Amino acid sequence: MTRAKTRKRRPLLTLLLILALIPVGGVVLHRFVPPLFTILMVKQAVAGHGMDYRWRSLDHISPRLVEAVIAAEDARFCQHHGFDVEAIQKAMEANERAEQRGSDKRRGASTISQQTAKNVFLWPGRDWVRKGLEVGYTGLIEIGWGKRRIMEMYLNVAEWAPGVYGAEAASQHWFHKSAENLTAREAARLAAILPSPRRYRAADPGPYVRRRASRIQAAMGTVREAGLDRCVDR
């Protein structure tokens, strides 16, 4: 390779290196610094929903909420390394059966780690580009953050009502109290609305949320007794 060709390729290689380091830099930064906002927060604010976002360390969030989201969203959070292969296989089988029945309902298998990567770094949507980046970011935060930081980030940036982000804002919005004082019942109700926080209510909920919260609260005991939350212990 001539020196001229080498000089021509150098800017491209430099650009590729910079693009590769941007995700790593973001992950390293947020290992220590809370995000100022996320793409979803901005999108919702522009749509007129406002932005109530209050960061709290995991030490100031009730452990009942940790148990509740593990019970509701990702029972193997402490066992997997970002991706729950068993859940993915079951989701694929369920979606194949649904397709054969002509149903458009699809079952997801995203872990808390995947949801955190998406919420912090990426935009809402289901396109393949975003899914590919989600896989990469999930691996990076599993390596760079560890489970406790992933859980802390998840509880702080998740949307719990239109324009309401993080456990503290959610607790104040729905129950008029601090997140560190949530009861098991209240934590279960918050976890119950996570799949559709713009549709369901944690306070004065309807029949669906009450039933789901009841199941989650029962499962929280299993999470606690089986040590399924030990990776985020204080």
Which tens digits make up the pLDDT trace of 104-119?
A: 566 567 999 999 999 9
Entry pTM = 0.89
pLDDT for the residue 126: 81
Q: CA-based angle 112:183:163, to the nearest 5?
A: 55
d(CA 148, CA 234): 9
d(CA 215, CA 104): 26
Query: Which residue type does 133 have?
Result: L
Per-residue pLDDT tens for 113-167?
A: 999 999 999 998 888 899 999 999 999 999 999 999 999 999 999 999 999 999 9
pLDDT for the residue 125: 84
Q: Mean per-residue pLDDT for 159-184?
A: 98
pLDDT band at residue 90 using 50, 70 and 90 as cut-offs:
confident
SS3 54: coil
216: tokens are 């989650």
pLDDT for the residue 104: 57
SS3 121: helix
For residues 157 and 119, is the Cβ–Cβ distance under 8 A? Answer: yes
Instruction: Identify which has the larger pLDDT, 108 or 225.
Output: 225
Per-residue pLDDT tens for 189-216?
A: 999 999 999 999 999 999 999 999 999 9
Out of 13-22, 27-36, 111-120, 163-172, least confident range: 13-22
pLDDT for the residue 77: 97
Contacts of 59 (CB under 8 A, 6+ apart): 234
d(CA 67, CA 16): 41
Per-residue pLDDT tens for 93-107?
A: 666 665 666 655 665
pLDDT for the residue 105: 62
pLDDT for the residue 182: 98
pLDDT for the residue 8: 57
pLDDT for the residue 103: 58
d(CA 2, CA 80): 48
31: tokens are 């290992």
Query: Which residue type does 143 have?
Result: I
Question: Across the chain, what does the average pLDDT equal?
Answer: 90
